[in-house]
Amino acid sequence: MIRTLVTGGAGFIGSHLCERLLQQGHEVLCVDNFFTGQRSNISHLLRELRFELLRHDVTFPLYVEVDAIYNLACPASPIHYQFDPVQTTKTSVLGAINLLGLAKRLKIPILQASTSEVYGDPEVHPQTEAYWGHVNPIGPRSCYDEGKRCAETLFFDYHRQHGIDIKVARIFNTYGPRMHPSDGRVVSNFIVQALRNEPITIYGQGLQTRSFCFVDDMVDALIKLMGTASGVTGPLNLGNPVEFSMLQLAELVIDMTGSRSTLTFMPLPQDDPQQRRPDINQAKDVLGWMPSTQLTEGLQRTVQYFKDQLQLGG
């Protein structure tokens, strides 16, 4: 039986990953410091005999015996990662060092949940893995963007220097049940505001674009990447290549929720990317993967989750 460590396992994507690994017969060690992870995300897993929860901060070394590591530990929404930017950078950099050290000692594969934010505000569209990015190293988003870029550097240096079996996934915008209602991300923001019939906040003119991948599809991709041969390192873009403007998303959410919300326009945050869409040809070729959940289907499931969370029924 494979014993798998998932750091950030009580987070949005991490909790879905823990659940899927259990379904596949793994023993799962879920590690989280609960800065942004929520115990409610994994409470239904606590009765599983093959599930173990450990409260731990990955900026400190971790001494456990496992067969594989998924490193998802890091606040991922601007509100959360800008709350304590020094700690955000430490989580990415020291967390990578500590977990790579563990993988080196145990001689096991390790997957890094990197991010599309390594591309910054891209000058190339769509973004391919060969693009080096356009990132402000001293802005308010830098703690996350540069922390993740440094983590990728560490992963590839450990791979070259110590022969560690690494997998690097560049995760693009992902949404679904268990998103935090106040995480400041566009999908959760729009849905919560719409369900409360509050004005929907649009930054800039709403013409900036994003591509939205449902969490089930993302978990499929992460598990497929971990299952590849040891020479397959990535980085691989993982996300949905279908692009939507913020205005299109807002109108779709208002329509799906039957909301009375109006749109309110605010200044664009500093360094906010204007376009974000992954080129996923490598993921198609290497993993045989592409997302299958349409935005309307995924939004319906996400809207219902937030209705339940906000106790709005329906």
DSSP state of 268: P
Burial class (CB in 10 A: 0-12, 13-18, 19+), 58: buried
Q: What is the mean pLDDT of residues 9-25?
A: 98
CA atoms within 13 Å, Cβ hemisphere of 90: 9
Cis peptide before 241 (omega within 30 of 0): no
Structure-token match 């599809």, residue found: 217
Question: Rounded to whole angstroms, how far apart are CA atoms 214 and 211?
Answer: 10
pLDDT score of 182 more than 50: yes
Q: What is the mean pLDDT of residues 6-12?
A: 97
Q: Is the pTM of this model over 0.85?
A: yes
pLDDT score of 314 more than 50: no
The pLDDT of residue 272 is 73
Question: Rounded to whole angstroms, how far apart are CA atoms 94 and 85?
Answer: 14
pLDDT score of 51 more than 80: yes
Using one digit for the tens of pLDDT, what is the confidence trace for 259-283? 999 999 988 877 677 788 999 999 9
* Intra-chain end-to-end CA distance of the chain, in Å: 41
Instruction: Decide if 75 contacts 117 (C-beta within 8 A).
Output: no
Question: Rounded to whole angstroms, how far apart are CA atoms 180 and 194?
Answer: 16
- Delineate the domains of the chain, giving CATH numbers in brackets: 3-175+213-241+275-291 (3.40.50.720)
Q: What is the mean pLDDT of residues 147-155?
A: 98
Query: In this structure, what token pair is assigned to residue 146?
Result: 């540069």
- 288 C-beta neighbours (distance < 10 Å), count: 8
The pLDDT of residue 312 is 61
Using one digit for the tens of pLDDT, what is the confidence trace for 196-217? 999 999 998 889 899 999 999 9
pLDDT score of 298 more than 80: yes
Q: What is the mean pLDDT of residues 104-132?
A: 95
Instruction: Decide if 119 contacts 134 (C-beta within 8 A).
Output: yes
Question: Rounded to whole angstroms, how far apart are CA atoms 147 and 167?
Answer: 17
Query: In this structure, what token pair is assigned to residue 159?
Result: 């791979």
Residue 171 makes CB contacts below 8 A (sequence gap 6+) with 13, 113, 114, 115, 116, 218, 238, 239
- 81 C-beta neighbours (distance < 10 Å), count: 27
Residues labelled as active-site residues:
144
Query: In this structure, what token pair is assigned to residue 284?
Result: 């198609």
The pLDDT of residue 185 is 87
What's CA 68's distance to the chain center, in Å? Answer: 19
Instruction: Decide if 271 contacts 117 (C-beta within 8 A).
Output: no
pLDDT score of 313 more than 80: no
pLDDT score of 56 more than 60: yes
Using one digit for the tens of pLDDT, what is the confidence trace for 63-114? 999 999 999 999 887 788 888 999 999 999 999 999 999 999 999 999 999 9
In this structure, the strands spanning 243-245 and 209-211 are: antiparallel
The pLDDT of residue 82 is 86
Using one digit for the tens of pLDDT, what is the confidence trace for 216-250? 999 999 999 999 999 999 999 999 999 999 999 99
Provide the 3-class DSSP secondary structure of residue 108.
coil
Query: In this structure, what token pair is assigned to residue 267?
Result: 């200044």
DSSP state of 120: B
The pLDDT of residue 23 is 97
Q: What is the mean pLDDT of residues 8-33?
A: 98
- Residue ranges of alpha helices (H) inside the chain are 12-23, 39-42, 78-81, 85-106, 142-162, 186-195, 215-226, 246-257, 281-287, 295-309
Number of separate helices (H) and strands (E) present in the chain: 10, 13
What's the mean per-residue pLDDT of the chain?
94
